Structure 1
Amino acid sequence: MKIVIFGGSGLIGNALAKNLSASHEVQCLNRSVFKSLDTLSLSLKDSDLVIQLSGSTIAKRWTKKHLKEVWESRVDSTQMLSKAISMMTTKPKVMCASGVSFYPESDCSNPHSENGLRGEGYLTELSVAWESAAKSISEDTIILRFGVVLSRSGGAFMKLYWPYFFGLGGPIASGNQCFSWIHITDLVRAVNFILNNPQAKGVYNITAPEPIPQKVLGKALASALKRPFLVPLWEWQLKLLFGSGSQILTESISVIPKKILEEGFIFDYPDIKSAMDDLT
């Protein structure tokens, strides 16, 4: 297939591109392609599959300017993508990213599956609008609700790794907030699994089957590195660093990948210990 990945330079896009390029023609494009409808339409020529991952990072201090950029880079770009694909004679299959912040907060003993209700707040509104734009492309658009991706190539794991490596690891806020995560290898395998299933449709939670409290993840990382787990990062400190954006570290969202498990997918890293042993 000819596969076009928007956001191909990001953590997920780069991992997918490396894997898929072994069997397919893969073209990775950044957000500059959305500067005009003509430019976007040209980039889609002869494509068989489009993977929409484009989006400015949410993991920084939230200002009005930044939140506007986040919205435009996800929702507005996907709306433009919908318009461009509607003009094509032969339309590609589409997969679009979303996030587990679609769901309401819950603890680890009450996880949400794909048919769970939507939550409230900015991150939920962003996910709902992003998915709505994706569904306007086609009723067959596949929505991928990603948990926090753990990878040595960047992202949340590497933000934690060095503080923990130097013995500065500890709970974030209470540490009881539920953390829905996935090893990057399983993420890539899951996307491949869905691609190779001609009946695949709708929403998939792309998370490990065992959501855990944040302090359990922290202890697993500290243990794998043979370091202490002592130094807390309090909520007031997070608000100083990230403002209202600190909620991405303190929200508690428990999610399980019920759909892909029922379809027969087997995780290489189903629990946090196996993931940390591999990543460290």
Structure 2
Amino acid sequence: MKIIILGGTGFVGSYLKAYLEAQSHDVVALGRKAYSKEFDLTAKLENQDLLIVLTGESIGKRWGAAYKKALLESRTLTNKLLKLKLQACQNPPKRIFSASAIGFYPENTCENILDESHTEPGKGFLGQLGKQWEETSLELTPKPLIMRFGVVLGKNGGALQKMLPPFKMGLGGPVAGGQQCFSWIHIEDLARAVSFFIEKSELKGVFNLTSLNPVTSNVFGKALAKAIHRPFWLPLPEFQLKLMFGEGAQVLTHSSAIVPTKLIESGFDFKYPEVATALKNIVE
């Protein structure tokens, strides 16, 4: 298939490009330049079989008012521009897969798991960001399949790239008490899920891309420390997180227990369903 990935030069996009090319697809990955005035995005979109939209500023940074605005506009304004570019195509992509995130859901605990049947967004910033992101995605034609990503775990990027240095120094420990739930997915399973969607053209709607087994932050941290043979002992209180990340600290304190019910019911099998084996594969 001919595939174009927007937001395709980051951590997930780069992995996905290589993965799909290994399956003999013809893949073009574009970064921010795709939305610039000088770039002819319509021409790039012509005659593509699939468009994958991963565009958006990283949430894993310090937030202030300006960055919250950038988080929103890098998802919604780009979608509005993309809508116009697609409308200008003579032969637009046949299918679209659009990224979202499980921050869409309200906070919940590991004992109170949610799946795609829960349709009300959370009332905080992450929930409203997800709501507006998906609303603008659904204005695209053809209507996209929405992929709500959990925390993506892989080499050389994402959450683990930031977590590993202190853990390797033996400074890992409970984050903000450690009881918040953590919904994750191995990047290989994410790419396998995208390939699964390609094969199953009848699939539509919203799909959670998370493992079957969300865990508490404490369980995750202990598994990471064990995988790299380091202790797990030094607490990181919430007030320190707020000093480091501002409002962005909520990415680490937000409790989210989300499972991929629709993906499993569609027949998908995870290669890495357990956090210990996923982390062992990544860090070794």
TM-score by length of 1: 0.96
Alpha-carbon separation, structure 1, partners of 2:276 and 2:258? 18
Alpha-carbon separation, structure 2, partners of 1:37 and 1:177? 45
| Other structure's SS at 1:237 match | helix
Structure 2 match to 1:153: 156
Q: Is the 8 A contact 1:179 1:252 kept in 2?
A: yes
Structure 2 match to 1:260: 263
Structure 2 match to 1:34: 35
- Greater mean alpha carbon deviation, residues 261-270 or residues 114-123: 114-123
What code does the residue aligned with 2:21 have? S
Alpha-carbon separation, structure 1, partners of 2:132 and 2:38? 20
Alpha-carbon separation, structure 2, partners of 1:83 and 1:112? 35
Q: Is the 8 A contact 1:37 1:84 kept in 2?
A: no
What code does the residue aligned with 1:57 have? S
| Other structure's SS at 1:96 match | strand
What code does the residue aligned with 2:99 have? A
Structure 2 match to 1:90: 91
What code does the residue aligned with 2:234 have? V
Structure 1 match to 2:217: 214
Displacement after TM superposition at 1:38 (Å): 6.7
Q: Is the 8 A contact 2:98 2:147 kept in 1?
A: yes
Give the superposed CA RMSD. 1.3
| Other structure's SS at 2:73 match | helix
| Other structure's SS at 1:136 match | coil
What code does the residue aligned with 1:273 have? A
Structure 2 match to 1:198: 201
Aligned pairs, number: 280
Q: Is the 8 A contact 1:31 1:73 kept in 2?
A: no
Displacement after TM superposition at 1:90 (Å): 2.6
From the superposition, tell whether residues 64 and 228 of structure 1 become closer, same or farther in structure 2 (CA, over 3 Å).
Answer: same
Q: Is the 8 A contact 2:174 2:218 kept in 1?
A: yes
What code does the residue aligned with 2:19 have? N
From the superposition, tell whether residues 161 and 263 of structure 1 become closer, same or farther in structure 2 (CA, over 3 Å).
Answer: same
Structure 2 match to 1:50: 51
- Greater mean alpha carbon deviation, residues 63-72 or residues 77-86: 63-72
Q: Is the 8 A contact 2:178 2:218 kept in 1?
A: yes
Match among 121, 124, 140 for residue 121 of structure 1: 124
What code does the residue aligned with 2:92 have? K
| Other structure's SS at 2:40 match | helix
Structure 2 match to 1:79: 80
Alpha-carbon separation, structure 2, partners of 1:118 and 1:66? 21
Percent sequence identity is: 43
**Structure 1 runs not aligned, ≥5 long:** none
Structure 1 match to 2:2: 2
